[in-house]
Structure 1
Amino acid sequence: MSEEKKGSGRGRWLVIGVVVVAGLGLVRGNGHDGAASADPSPAAAAPSGASSGAAPSAGASAAPSKPPKPSGSYDPADYAAPVRRYAAEAGVNPQLLMAILYNEAYKPHDPELERAWQRSKPDASFGIANMHRAAFDDTKPGRPFASRQWEELPDDRDLAIQAAAWHLHDLAAQLPVRPGAPLTRDELAALGYNAGAGNMLAFARGVKIGSQAQSYLDRLRDNWSESGEAVK
């Protein structure tokens, strides 16, 4: 969900990435795991007194290793399975949900980078669906992820997709049965995702779309066919 100006977004994120990479050692020194590499293997993390060749005791089982944190570079199509699953759960069009991910892939989604940016811009969005805290907190009550926190979005891409699906569900539920604008319900829901429910309802009544919202809609249409292929 991006309410930031995206025309210069990619260049700004490249500059921020350089700054964050330079200071990433300091971030990790404050207790954060490395973002671009897997966690250490159980053998590497074992106490120094343990023999690497020792056999496990009878009945002992290896502790499950944590999955690696996601890196900043990704292809939304790789998440077709959770997109289909959570779109079905929320009752929204999976093609729309995938198109939202494509629209929101304009910036790197590295967890450490997102958190570093959020420290300087507290109202920044989190996760691959670029969801703001208020939208997440408004969406989650009564939902399968009600106990989860917005701060988890950078590290859990499935959660980001699930929350986006239900937010789209809630936006679509506010639309009139027959919008007065020459836009599809999916297009209006996408505009609501980008510009908020109030603007979405104004657009549904036929109010002229501003330049930022129009840019988002244009990208959605550009990504539409690719999104449909991804979720087949």
Structure 2
Amino acid sequence: MTGCSPSPTGQGAAPASGSASSATSPAPAPSASAPSQGSPAPSADYRPERFADQVATHAASAGVDPQLLMAILYNESYKPHDPAFERAWQKSKPDSAFGIANMHKAAFDEAKRGRPFAGRDWQELPDDPNLAVQAAAWHLHDLAAQLPGTWPASYTKDEMLAFGYNAGAGNMILFAQGTKPGTQAQSYVDTLRSNWDKAGQTMKHSR
């Protein structure tokens, strides 16, 4: 989950012209939040490996490691990403995250500034996995720009960025400066490590 504050611790195709259904009722107008072209057809399958092509595309555009981006998706797959579930959950927890990359509104709004998806809205994330992957890639890009030049040798650069994704840029910087990560942040990186090889294999098979 991303966007924490610092602390020490698609629509289906319309009926063909001339068909019975199109003669009796007009095709619905496109939704303003229709999934972007890179998203797979709507499905209840939100396994991270299903989005390997989107990960490869957006990681390359943002200049981040596709294995890291895929590992983040595996980390964030701990909860259902069905749009209806996410919206129902958000009603009871307004500060909850949206989309397959579990992004909070503040993090999304920051990541989209000056980017190709600047005109998109955080509320679209549950319905558009491609947008979620794109936003996560650029968020990692921005975190990399804020990461100090040195950090504890026990962590890789990708692991430091995972700290930032989970706990926020402020905490990432503190951890780089030597502050011991809290239990939740450390658990997130431990999970990333357990997902790392799987993420690498997923991206290797996507090529």
- Alignment of 1:116 with 2:92, yes or no, is no
Root-mean-square deviation (Å): 2.6
What number of residue pairs does the alignment pair up? 186
Counterpart in 2 of 1:46?
Answer: 22
Identity of matched residues, %: 61
Confirm or deny: 8 A CA contact 1:181 1:203 kept in the other structure.
no
Distance 2:112 2:78 in 1: 25
Retained in 1: the 8 A contact 2:152–2:176? yes
Which of 78, 102, 122 is the matching residue for 2:50? 78
The structure 2 residue matched to 1:107, chosen from 51, 64, 79, is 79
Whole-Å separation in 1 of the counterparts to 2:93 and 2:151: 36
The separation in 2 between residues aligned to 1:220 and 1:110, in whole angstroms, is 23
Could you tell me which residue of structure 1 aligns to residue 67 of structure 2?
95
Moved over 4 A (4+): 38-41
- Counterpart AA for 1:110: D
1:172 equivalent in structure 2: 144
The alpha-carbon deviation at position 174 of structure 1 amounts to 0.6
Q: Check the 8 A contact 2:46/2:100 in 1, yes or no.
A: no
5+ residue gaps, structure 1: 5-32, 51-62
Query: Which structure carries more relative contact order (alpha carbon 8 Å, separation 6+)?
Result: 2
CA distance in 2, matches of 1:70, 1:168: 26
Between the aligned partners of 2:124 and 2:138, the Cα distance in structure 1 is 17
Cα distance between partner residues in 2 of 1:77 and 1:194: 21
Contact 2:75 2:192 in 1 (8 A): yes
Q: Work out the CA distance in 1 between the residues paired with 2:163 and 2:155.
A: 10
Alpha-carbon contact 1:95-1:224 (below 8 Å) kept? yes
Cα deviation, residue 178, structure 1: 2.0
The structure with the larger Rg is 1
Q: 1:69 aligns with which of 23, 26, 42?
A: 42
Segments of 5+ residues of structure 2 without an aligned counterpart are 5-9, 35-39
Give the TM-score, by structure 2 length: 0.82
- Quickly say closer, same or farther: Cα 1:40–1:120, change in 2 above 3 A: farther
Question: How far is the alpha carbon of 1:181 from its aligned partner?
Answer: 4.8
The residue identity in structure 2 corresponding to 1:166 is: W
